[in-house]
Structure formats: structure tokens, C-alpha cells
A and B are shown apart, each in its own frame.
Chain A
Amino acid sequence: MSAVLSVRDLGVTIGRSTIVDGVSFDVQRGQTLGIVGESGSGKSMTVLAATGLIDAPGAVVTGASRLGSTDAAGLDLVAATPTQLRRVHGDRIGFIFQDPSTSLNPLLTLERQLTEGPEAHLGLTRRQARSRALALLDSVGIPNPSDRLAAYPHQLSGGQRQRVMIAVALACDPDLLIADEPTTALDVTTQAQIIDLVRGLQEERGMAVVWISHDLGVIGQVADDVTVLYRGEAVEQRPIVEVFDEPRHDYTRTLLDARPVLGLATPAPADPNADVLLSIRDLDVSFPITTATGKSTVHAVRGASLDIRRGHTLGLVGESGSGKSTVAGVLTGLTEPASGTVTLEGRDIFGRRGTELTQLRREISMVFQDPFSSLNPRMSVAEAIAEPLRVHRLAAGAKGRRGRVEELLELVRLPREFADRFPHELSGGQRQRVSIARALAVEPKLMILDESTASLDVSIQSQVLELLATLQQDLGLTYLFIAHDLAIVQQMSHEIAVMRQGEIVELSSNERLYADPQHDYTRTLLAAIPPERPRAAASEA
């Protein structure tokens, strides 16, 4: 059997840095190759270089990448001319990219975006291309495809947009489908649907798939073989089950150990009789939203009630738009609630002014999701951490502040010398540690962690989670842990609230929620999580 794509000794250099170094792989018809690695490992670059779609300025590609065909030679995509590449792109190779909100042209109708490929490659008329577009939308599960042809991307949900993107990729019935992190920007339930859809279509059409992901759980669901990339090199290339069961390379082992898996860990127990620190009752939040065409109201939170006990972690889970971050916004005073009460140590947090408000800001602190945008690029680490110290007059003079900054850095396991660095000199994980140090500076009663590890690589994420758990033990901290990943929430939280469309649909203890979920939505969420073992292992057994 000849491979659909056969890559040999592929290299990519930009200037003097080597991005991809000597990567080789084959993909067969009907087969899925998973390429896994963390950010900066060169996964996307490898595949874009191998398919001739690389557009990084100054990138030099070496090696060979042969697109198999019935005539013996095939086409080497590394050496091919732009015209040769255009002939296979969209025709024999289809592409799906990560972010469905940016990968479709906002000014063109779905019909135009679906038909331009077939018109260019298959010489179809407008009419033929249109009926093909209809069939494609139907096959990717878009309801009422004939109504949808005239729609624009902004009129679809994220999951639907990704379905359309898949239809675009499959428009000319390609031999090879390249899927570059196709589910990373999606919610977990949508992710599960997209995985099933691509698998189903692959079975139907027999195409080869190269699926790139940073998430071993997803790769486990889709791949037959897997290539693990680390710093531009393929450190392990074997069937998926073998990689999961007997990882040979240290890095593969790190990836496997660091990934969040359901049922592996729970937090250290907390005192069940501890007093209630924060109490939310019947919280309602609605936003008037102004669009170009007028105003409307969005109910972000409806009738939410929960308690957080001192020294406990309450996990707040939900998909995008569920209202979980709005709750954080209310607690930090950034969002006005419509009704309801919130008390901290029995005192209402609303309607505080002046020093009382300043005091509240000290009592509740927050660590944000994106470590790149939540630190001011013009402030050194020391200045960033010292700012709350100065505002709340928590340390005596510049010297006192400097001493405290160094203590805090030590607490988050960063060297003292980092005090004089600037954010751009730090990695994502290090920045997030600085954010944690800044949040700790005010000695808060409650710390809100809003998706604080969601944008980190899994190996870094597990270290930061461990740090947070240790800090809780050592300093007796109370956390509101907001996340979309149920495995991480299980690992961190004592109590868990599940939010959906602004409502808390289930609130229970860690043990009970996972052992015996009460609400349908909780069950759906749990079912959507990729299992620990790869799908291929289940079919072998």
C-alpha cells in the first residue's frame, strides 16, 4: 500500500533558528496520524511545510514530502512550484484550522466559501457547485442547509462554523485532510461532536487524516499512529496504544503524566466544619448589550446561590458563555448585579465606598487567564507585585516592599533575580506565577482563579496547579476555581458548581458529583471528556 503522504527528513529553519529538524512520517489511506506536542514544538510548522502551505516569512524548508498518487512518482510538495501546489491544495488536500471564528471570511456567504474551491478545481458551474455545497453542509450536520447557504459566518455558532470549515476542506473530496488543532477553540461537548463527525466522514470517504493537537486526550480519540514532537524533533513515533501504554521517551511520559485525567487526583481534605467565608444568594446579572443595530439584554447569571467555606476550593465549571466569569466580575466589583446578595464574612460586599471598597479589593484578589495580557509590559516583575503593596500600604517603604516582593517570588517558586525582569523575558508559566504572587501580595481572604491555567501547556499547567494546591495548604487560602476542564476541577476542588446558561444546575461535593452526577448537563459534560485510554485500545480489546 502506498502512502497518501510520505514525509522524509523534513526541516524548517527561519534565519538561524531550527524550527523543525529531520521529521519523517507516512500516512496511509483511511488512517489518522496524530501529531502531538506543546506550543512551540513545531507541530503546525511541520505540517504546513510538508503540505506546501507554509507562509512564515523567511522560512526555508528542506527534505521531501511526497503526495502519493496512482502514477508512480507522485508530487514532492517541498520542491513543487506554486502552480503545482495550488492544483493540489483544496483538491487533493483539505485543511481545517484552529479558530473557526477567524478561519472563515466574514464578508462572504457560506455558499461562496463552499463553492469557490470546487469551481476552481473541478470546473463545476455555479449551479453544480451550489448543489455540491448543499450536500456538503448536510453531510457535516448543518440543519436546513438550503437556508444556510445565504448565511454569513457571524450568524453561526462556533461549533457550526467549524462544521462549515470541515465542509470547505472536504469540498473536492480530498485524499488527505489536515486538521490543525481543530477542536482547541471549542467547548468540550462541541469538541466531542466534531471528533465524531471527522471520524465518521473519514470512514465514509477513506481519506487519510493528519490531526495536530497539544491534547493527548484528543489525539487518543482520533489517531491510529502518533508522532510526538519536542523542540522540532520527532521523539517518538508509534501506534497510539503503545505510546499510551509504554511511552519510551521521557518527554512523552511527562506529557502523559501531566495531562488532566478524570479520577486521578482529588485535593487534600479541608475542614468540613469551617465557617462560610463567602456566600452568594440569588445572584442575578444582566447586561444591556449595544450592537450596531440596537440594544438588547443578556441574562448572564440567573438566581445563582453558593457558599464557599474558609480553606476550601469551590470549583465553578461551565462552557463558554455559561456565566462563570460574570460571577467573578461581580465578586471583584467589576460587574454590577441586578439583584441578589453577596457576603464576605457575613458583611455585604455591595454598596461599599471609599476605604471599605479598598478593603474589599484587598480581601478578594484574582488571577486571570491570559498571562500575556494580564501583566503590564512596561512594569518590571517587582513593580507589578509591589503595586498592590503600595496601594494598600502593606509594606514599609521601598525597602520593605522589595523584601516582600522577594518573599512572594520565593513563595511562587521563582528566583529572586526575577524581580528585575520584564514580562517579555518570562515564559507563560513564569508569568502566571508572577500573577499569582501579585494576587497573594494583598494577603487575600478569597482568591479567584479564573481559568488561570487554561492557556498554559499541560506540563506547565500541572506545575502551576501543584503550586496552587501547596499554597492553599501552607497559607490556608480559599479559592474560587473557575474552569471548563472537569478533570482539573476534580483535582482542585472540594465543592463543585456546574453552570449552564447563567444557572447553577448542580452544586455538590467533589466525590458525589463525579460518582453520581444528578443533572443531565453534568452527565453530558462528563461524557464529553476524552477517556484516559485511547479509542484504538477499546476497539482492540
Chain B
Amino acid sequence: MRGVLENTTVRFLARRLAYTAVVLVGVMVVVFSIVQLVPGDPVRIALGTRYTEASYEALRAASGLDRPLWEQFVGYLGGALTGDLGVSFRNGEPVTAVLLERLPATISLALAGLVIGLAVALPAGIYSALREGRLSDGIVRIASQFGVSVPDFWMGMLLITLFSSVLGWLPSSGYVAITDDPLEWLRRVTLPAITMGIVAGSIMTRYIRAAVLDVASMGYIRTARSKGLAPKVVTFRHIVRNALVPVLTITGIQMATMLGGVIVVEVVFAWPGLGRLVFDAVASRDYPIIQGAVLLIAVMFLLINLLVDVLYAVVDPRIRLS
């Protein structure tokens, strides 16, 4: 029966999709309002102190800010849906192009960070929960508390000092696209990914530990033990599978957070991702870029939530077949 999309699953996914669309429109309203809500005139800010009335009017008209509000919104909405997010105030480049240029750097870093985070968190969280109260559990808990508490810029600097300055194993910064040179990409992504992975992994370790402990106390785990099953069968088939359901949520949130660009990490490692883009755009009040980046980050957030919901349905028959 698995693999066949049951009617209920389709309905479930349709509902989630509709929900995603509604939230997306809400996000667009908010993003659109950014320009309306900022104090002062964005065009004046964009032009700085030296401009003529003519250049002011030209930019205003080019940005569409001279039209009525609703018309601006419809225009924005239509533009956004067709991939036109306006042009950067700073250099006149199309926002969409700027974003797309930055996206691969951020996505590849986020995925690498998530892989490292999960590679740490899954074994550590499961192991620590199964040995609750023992020394090894204590060590994992203290280590994950440390990982959550240490600021990421400091962790990044520490890693740079050790691995590039002292040992000289890895470059301290810079980005090479994975499509250009996979090996060089790997060398350069390692340190920022570890920095992000330690934070995300520490958070997820705590969640996984709690989820495993919660499941381990359930009646069906006692049933599994009462069948005389081998400990690893009880652990993996019964405990971990059930614990993964809540863990999916936190993994999705971590992934989405990383996709939003961990600004500090990208700045420390000179990684040309979305985080740095937003950082620079805020500094120069480049509103179209800020708007576009916020919208893109929100869309990725929603897509990941949708993905998590789909995975829920895959993992949990109560959602798939209710």
C-alpha cells in the first residue's frame, strides 16, 4: 500500500499547499509594506544628498512609487509572481538576478551545515537518551549546552585560528561554486559549515535526546521489550523511528534558519550568501534588495515547512491514513 498516494494524503497535501499560498500572500503584503513603513522617503535615501529634481522623479517613477498604493501592490504582486522584484537602488541591477547569484552559496553552505549538524546530533542525542543519567549522558548534555551558548562568530574565529592560521589545513575564507571546483568548494565550506553545524547540532541534540526519552517511556516500547526483541531492534525500529517524527520539525526549523543566511557566519568567512547580501543592503538602505531577500527567505521557509509536512505524512500513518 505504501507508495500509492491515498486519497487522504492528497487531501492533506492540498490543504497544506493552500495554507502555504495564503501565508505567502500575507508575507508579500508585509514585504510590500516595508517601503511604506520606513521613515522618510526611500528614493531620497537611495539618492543620497546630491541629486536633481529630475533624477529624483525618474527613480521615483522607475520604482513605481508615484502611483497609488493599491496599484503599487498589484504591480509588486504581479512582478513578484513573474520573477521581477525591481532593481537595486545601489547599482540598478535586477533584484532577482542579484538574489539568484547569491542563492547557491547559501544553499550549499546550509546543506553542509545541516549534514554536519545531523551527523553530530543524531548519534549524540540517541546515545545520550539511552544512557540517561550516566556519565556519558552528562558529557553530551554539557557539550551541547556549550555548543548552544558559544557565539558563532567566536566559534568561527576559533576554527579559523586553529585550522587555517596554526595548522594551515584549510582556507580561512572565500567561496568557490561547487559547480566550478567541487574539491575547492569542500575545502572552503568546511569551516563555516562546522561553525553552523555545531550550533544547529547542539540544538538538535537536545531535541533528539528529549524526543527519544519521551518515546522510550511509551507503552509500546515496553511491549517491544516484552517480545524479547534484541536491544538494537527495540532502539531503532521502535524508539528512533517514533522519535524522528518530532525531530523532523526542529530539523526543518534549523534548515530554514540556515537558509535565511547566518549573517555573522557569512560575514566572518567572507561567504557571499544571502546573509551578507542582507547585511550590506541594510547598511546601504537598498530597499528593493531587502524586500527581495526577505521574500525569498520567507518562500524558502514555507517550502521547507511544506517538505516537513510531506515527510510527516510519509513517516506517520496516522496522518497518511486518518
Which A positions have Cβ atoms within 8 angstroms of B?
53, 55, 57, 82, 85-91, 93-95, 97-99, 102-108, 116-117, 120-121, 150, 152, 154-155, 165, 168-169, 171, 291-294
Contacts and interface: CB of A to CB of B under 8 A. Distances in A.
B317 A106 contact: yes
Nearest to A58: B133
Given A97-B222, A102-B218, A104-B220, 18 more contacts: A55-B222, A85-B228, A90-B226, A90-B228, A91-B228, A93-B226, A98-B219, A105-B242, A106-B316, A107-B241, A107-B245, A107-B315, A107-B317, A120-B229, A120-B230, A154-B322, A292-B12, A293-B322
A168 B228 contact: no
Contact of B225 (A53, A165, A291): A53
Interface of B: 1, 8-9, 11-12, 15, 133, 218-220, 222-231, 233, 237-238, 241-242, 245, 315-319, 321-322
B319 A103 contact: no
Contact of B220 (A57, A91, A106, A154): A106
21 contacts: A53-B222, A55-B222, A82-B231, A89-B227, A89-B228, A90-B228, A97-B222, A102-B220, A103-B220, A105-B220, A106-B242, A107-B316, A107-B317, A116-B233, A117-B229, A152-B317, A152-B321, A169-B226, A291-B322, A292-B322, A294-B15
A182 B231 CA distance: 26
Nearest to B313: A292
B227 A117 contact: yes
Contacts of A121: 228
Closest CB pairs A-B (n = 6): A89-B228, A90-B227, A102-B219, A90-B228, A95-B226, A103-B219
A535 B229 CA distance: 37
B11 A294 contact: yes
A84 to B, nearest CB: 10
A86 B228 contact: yes
A53 B230 contact: no
A169 B223 CA distance: 9
Nearest to A292: B319
A163 to B, nearest CB: 14
Contacts of A169: 226
A120 B227 contact: yes
Contacts of B228: 85-91, 117, 120-121
A103 B223 contact: yes
Contacts of A165: 223
B227 to A, nearest CB: 4
A293 B223 contact: no
A293 B6 CA distance: 11
Nearest to B132: A57
B223 A105 contact: yes
Nearest to B224: A105
Nearest to A86: B228
A293 B225 contact: no
A120 B232 CA distance: 13
A116 B220 CA distance: 13
Contacts of B226: 53, 89-90, 93-95, 97, 169
A150 B315 CA distance: 15
B321 to A, nearest CB: 6
B213 to A, nearest CB: 12
Nearest to B8: A293
Nearest to A94: B226
B214 to A, nearest CB: 12
A173 to B, nearest CB: 13
A89 B224 contact: no
A294 B13 CA distance: 11
Contacts of A292: 12, 318-319, 322
A98 B220 CA distance: 11
Contacts of B224: 105
A345 to B, nearest CB: 44
A86 B319 contact: no
B79 to A, nearest CB: 35
Contacts of A154: 317-318, 321-322
Nearest to A294: B11
A107 B313 CA distance: 11
A293 B317 contact: no
B90 to A, nearest CB: 46
Contacts of B245: 107
Question: Which of B1, B224, B231 has the most chain A CB atoms closer than 10 A to its own CB?
Answer: B224
A150 B227 CA distance: 20
A88 B230 CA distance: 12
A121 to B, nearest CB: 6
Given A89-B228, A294-B11, A97 B219 contact: yes
A102 B15 CA distance: 29
B318 A168 contact: no
A97 B219 CA distance: 8
Nearest to B219: A102
Nearest to A92: B228
B131 to A, nearest CB: 12
Contact of B223 (A57, A88, A95, A294): A95
Given A108-B237, A152-B321, A293-B8, A168 B223 contact: yes
Nearest to B318: A154
Contacts of A55: 222, 225
A212 to B, nearest CB: 14
A121 B227 CA distance: 9
Contacts of B242: 105-107
Contacts of A116: 227, 229, 233, 237
Given A103-B223, A168-B223, A293 B11 contact: yes
Contacts of B222: 53, 55, 97, 103
Contacts of B230: 86, 120
A124 B114 CA distance: 41
A104 to B, nearest CB: 6
Nearest to B221: A105
B238 to A, nearest CB: 6
Nearest to A121: B228
A270 B12 CA distance: 55
Contacts of A99: 219
A152 B1 CA distance: 12
A97 B223 contact: yes
A107 B318 CA distance: 8
A150 B1 contact: yes
Contacts of A90: 226-229
Contacts of A97: 219, 222-223, 226
